[in-house]
Structure 1
Amino acid sequence: MWSGQLPEGNGNRAKAAAVAAATTVVVTVGVTGFLLLGGGDRDDDADGGSASTKAPTTASKGTTASTPTPDSPPGATERPTVPGWKVVINPKRGTAFDVPPDWDVKSPTLLIGFEDSEVDYNDPDNWGKVVIVMGAPAILKEDWCVSRSKKNGRVKQNSTELAAAGTKGASGAGSTGAAALSQVEQWVYGGYTQPDRKSIVRDEAATPYTTKSGVKGSIARARSRNAPRTDACASDGKAITFGFRNSAGDLVAWSLYGATGVKNELPDSTVMKILGTVRLHGDPTES
């Protein structure tokens, strides 16, 4: 998994300085991906299989980042619908959802996702080719498994999360069902099976779904079975994507992915409980 975030205030000075010194810093994080700290903004509104890199910029209108503190987490402006849980807000998409207390709620300006495992990092022109991304995420056990690997003479530390959830745009999908189907397989492929797709099983059709707050849309599921093991932390994985429309009528997709067949696997019952909390949150700051 890679994650990228715009430089944001004093709490992030170390990251901002690293970006200024090297434009792009590459550190491994995740089963098949890389952590990228870039000076530019990445677009989470792609069709589910790509992302664009823009020129360096500041945060979008209404999404100015602030460094989270224990007294003021990213979801502090709205109460959770599940008592004791944490709120995750994506102002850009006008959405919110809740996660259990052991999840780490990240900044609304953070993007996470998976890069193409075949990217040659000796060639800067190939940096940043991603499989899929999402914004304003929450992560369960970010350092659930840590391993080291060596590629092209470079030693990389791989830190794999147990599960993660977030929201992205789906403007190219055309319908809520298409939004769900076009993205869900990409999360399993990017995080658990690439470059193999034969081990992925995906719903053939999306299923209508309504959240507890009354948001109507469509869900699709995917998972891998006996995926090739390429890393000490590798496992099979699962994902669920909920396609819906925000208050501006724009198609968006909420997704959750996680490792399967492992100790402490996130139960499907908890996955569905989290999904049930997905709701609209005011007007999106970007359409």
Structure 2
Amino acid sequence: MWPGQQSPGDGQQPQQPAQGNPYQQPGYQQPNPYAAQPPTVAAPAPRPPGGGRTKVIAITTAAVVVVAAAVTGAVVLGGGSDDGADPGPTATSASPTSSTDPRSGDAPKPTVAGWQVVVNPDAGIAFDVPANWALQSPGWVSYVAEDDDPEDKPLVAMKAPALLKEKWCTSDDDKDGQVDNTPLASVGTRKNNGARSTEEAARSDAAAWVYGAYAQPDHKKVTTGPVTAFTTASGLVGSVATSRSAGVTKAHKCDSDGKATTFAFKNGEGDFASWSFVGARGVGEEVPDATVRKILGTVRLYTPPEES
């Protein structure tokens, strides 16, 4: 099921403190880019067998609440059983953690007529998506991890994502009576503290999303194209790479091949950051590459308004 989210104020309490940083990238060993202090995390529910799983976490000022456990299909990233979703509560929005909630009056205007703006105020990034995409709170973080990793360390993550067709595919692969909803695609941004170059960040993030969300445990089913230079409409310069999976074993109803495009650049603070699109591939409703590029072209730096 696509992550049903429990708002931090709904009376649900984390089950136990996290034993490690849930956002620290294994290869980078960077500090948590999403929180000023070590958050408290609810213990994730057991994940059913299948491909990778995408987890979704709602970050608040004082704590982090796990809102997803296991999902098959194109969740958050879409594709092979990858994204995590808590098989319990109905999907709701977490309380905004910033005055720059993309749905608030402080949000910037879209650069494409009829589209809406997605904002990651922590990373200082904004971009546009079509009107039929569902925007999540700036406090949402989604990530993928190795299925057999007991510590559930993220391979890659994105914050404040937007989702396309949140209930694109539904299934109950673990036969627990809880229906899992799988989105068709997702797009979001993150800081890449520790990356050595935009080329490295673009290549590694794109491959990690496809592997973690669709192709696990077979790295050989993931191919990444050449990394090329790219400049967005706002003049933001960086590197872009696209990864795809082929031949993913479709063990469950919502499993599919997937694709991911990552654009890496330096934000307004001079730190490495990236934008990523992740979605199902080889399906009837696959997001066209032209649409992915149009969304990518709107990526721009963003300065949150000062608090009064």
Normalising TM by the smaller chain, what interval?
0.7 to 0.9
Q: Which runs of 5+ in 2 are unaligned?
A: 17-41, 67-95
**Cα 1:182–1:231 shift into 2, 3 Å:** same
Matches for 1:169-248 after TM superposition, within 5 Å: 169-203=191-225, 205-248=226-269
Cα deviation 1:62-99 (Å, max 9, x = unaligned): x834797xxx7158511000011010001100000000
Letter in 2 for 1:128: D
Q: Which residue of 1 aligns with 2:97?
A: 64
2:45 alignment partner, one of 26, 33, 37: 26
1:146 maps to 2:142: no
Q: Which amino acid aligns with 1:142?
A: E
CA distance in 1, matches of 2:305, 2:227: 25
Query: Partner letter of residue 188 of structure 2?
Result: G
SS of 1:111's equivalent? strand
Task: Please give the alpha-carbon distance, in whole angstroms, between the structure 1 residues aligned to 2:155 and 2:305.
Answer: 25
Give the structure 1 partner of residue 33 of structure 2: none
Output the CA distance in 1 between the equivalents of 2:258 and 2:117: 25
> In structure 2, how many angstroms separate the alpha carbons of the residues matched to 1:175 and 1:27?
36
Flag the 1:236–1:115 CA change in 2: closer, same or farther, 3 A. Answer: same
Query: Which residue number corresponds to residue 107 of structure 1?
Result: 137
Change (3 A) 1:27 1:101: farther
Aligned: 1:252 with 2:273: yes
Cα shift at 1:175:
1.2
| 1:258 CA displacement | 0.5
* Alpha-carbon offset, residue 140 of structure 1: 0.5
Q: 1:249 to 1:78 in 2, by over 3 A?
A: same
* Alignment-derived partner of residue 128 in structure 1: 152
2:112 aligned to 75, 82, 107, which one?
A: 82
Query: For residue 235 of structure 2, what is the amino acid of its counterpart?
Result: G
Q: Tell me the alpha carbon deviations over residues 139-186 of structure 1, each in whole angstroms, 9 at most, x when there is no partner.
A: 1111111111228xx666432110101111112221111110111101
Matched residue type, 1:108: P
Letter in 1 for 2:52: T
Q: What SS does structure 1 have at the residue aligned with 2:186?
A: strand
Gaps of 5+ in 1: 43-62, 120-125
| 1:184-223 deviations in Å (ceiling 9; x for gaps) | 10110111111111111112x4100000010000000100
Residues 5-61 of structure 1, C-alpha deviations (whole Å, 9 max, x = no match): 8x86xxx533xx22346733538799631546574389xxxxxxxxxxxxxxxxxxx
1:13 maps to which residue?
A: 9
Secondary structure of the 2:295 match is: helix
Q: Pick from 175, 189, 194: which aligns with 1:167?
A: 189
Give the C-alpha shift of residue 133 in structure 1.
1.1
How many residue pairs are counted as aligned between the two chains?
A: 247
Decide which structure has greater strand share.
1
Structure with greater helix percent: 1
Given the two structures, how large is their TM-score scaled by the length of structure 2?
Answer: 0.71
Is the Cα contact below 8 Å between 1:148 and 1:155 reproduced in 2? yes
Distance change in 2, residues 1:182/1:259 (3 Å) = same
Residue type at the aligned position of 1:131: L
> Does structure 1 residue 266 correspond to structure 2 residue 287?
yes
Once the two structures are TM-superposed, the CA of residue 128 in structure 1 deviates from its matched residue by 3.3
Contact 1:93–1:284 (CA under 8 A) maintained in structure 2: no
Going from structure 1 to structure 2, the CA distance change for 1:282 and 1:3 (only over 3 Å counts) comes to: farther
CA distance in 2 between partners of 1:221 and 1:284 (Å): 33
**In 1, Cα distance between equivalents of 2:218 and 2:205:** 17
